[in-house]
Amino acid sequence: MVLLDGKLISEQIKAEIKVEVESIVRRNGKVPHLAAVLVGDNPASEAYVRSKVRSCEQVGFKSTLIRRGADITEAELLEIVRQLNDDKEIDGFIVQLPLPKHIDEMKVTLAIDYRKDVDGFHPVNFGKMAQGMDTFLPATPYGIIEILERYKIQTAGKHCVVVGRSNIVGTPVSILMSRKGKDCTVTLTHSKTEDIASEIRRADIVIAAIGIPRFITADMVKPGAVVVDVGINRIEDAAAKNGNRLVGDVDFDHVAPKCSYITPVPGGIGLMTVTCLLLNTLKAASQE
């Protein structure tokens, strides 16, 4: 079994980005600039956004964090989006999800200028992605593709089973894995799938993005499979310093010995997601 090391690959990609930033700055003096909007005090969102800002610093990007309370109105948030769309200093920005229930996430996503949508969530970018056009890929699917490529994992003709159909991971990664270049035969499974275990058992490549701690157990995995774990679930653990720890959607300890390759949690796809957001920001800064 080989561990797909998201930390190692992220560091390699960040070193490549840093070189590129230095060259952009030498050419036109402009530093790529990412803005993030964080609404409310969801601890997971806080952690993600902190990591995004820290990663910007590592590669020499500028970053701006805009924080607002959970009581912000939809109109106020849309006004922030409008200002970021118009701000010539900002190359790309994200609005961290989830948003409070009184705000329509799709309305906010649609308000973002698709040329600055470094999350790749806007339907224009999603549509381009689905048609194989050059665009911002959603960061988590992008991170999955990138780590598979950098470990030279063969995908052509393989059966890929995606578990979970979210707009930001399951659905887009199922499209990307089926497209020319990746060439998998893809099964997209979800909460209504009958006998999900037998679907997963047929997989050469499993992509777990269902948000249920240790949902995928050893009996569901074919020997030699490649397992990509997107889950980041906080569970109670009396032995841990702060009483909890992170686990994925895969029962790592029992599944890992059966796999050819597997991503750990933490240290796998989570880090790749942040790094691929940086790649998208670099792309946004290189346009114009």
Which one of the listed residues 14, 52, 116, 182 is annotated catalytic? 52
Q: Is 94 in the site for ligand GUN (CB under 6 A)?
A: yes
Which C-beta is closer to ligand GUN: that of 230 or that of 259? 230
Which span sits near ligand GUN by CB under 6 A: 19-27, 94-102, 191-199, 215-223?
Answer: 94-102
Q: Is 233 in the site for ligand GUN (CB under 6 A)?
A: no
Q: What angle do CA 234, 193, 122 make, to 5 degrees?
A: 65
**Which residue's Cβ has the minimum distance to ligand GUN?**
97
Per DSSP, the residues of 119-177 read T--SHHHHHHHHTT-S-PPPHHHHHHHHHHHHTT---TT-EEEEE---TTTHHHHHHHH
- Told to judge if 119 belongs to the known catalytic residues of this protein, a careful annotator would answer yes
**For ligand GUN, which residue of 31, 97, 110, 130 counts as binding (CB under 6 A)?**
97
The site that binds ligand GUN (CB under 6 A) totals a number of residues, namely: 9
In the window 111-130, what residues touch ligand GUN (CB under 6 A)? Answer: 119
φ, ψ for residue 244, nearest 5 deg? -150, 165
**For ligand GUN, which residue of 17, 59, 103, 139 counts as binding (CB under 6 A)?**
139
Q: Closest separation between CB of residue 5 and ligand GUN, Å? A: 21
Helix or strand holding residue 24 (H, E): helix 6-28
Helix or strand holding residue 31 (H, E): none
Cα gap 20→192, rounded to integer Å: 45
Q: 3-class DSSP state for residue 212? A: coil
Q: Is 103 in the site for ligand GUN (CB under 6 A)?
A: no
Q: Is 155 in the site for ligand GUN (CB under 6 A)?
A: no
Q: Which residues contact 239 (CB under 8 A, 6 or more apart)?
A: none
Distance set, CA 149 to CA 105, 143, 159, 217, 278 (Å): 32, 10, 16, 26, 18
Q: Is 232 in the site for ligand GUN (CB under 6 A)?
A: no
Q: Is 246 in the site for ligand GUN (CB under 6 A)?
A: no
Distance of CA 177 to the CA centre of its chain: 15
Which C-beta is closer to ligand GUN: that of 96 or that of 135? 96
In the window 159-178, what residues touch ligand GUN (CB under 6 A)? Answer: 168
For the chain, count helices (H), then strands (E): 10, 11
Q: Which residues are catalytic?
A: 52, 96, 119
Binding site residues, ligand GUN, CB under 6 A: 94-97, 119, 139-140, 168, 273
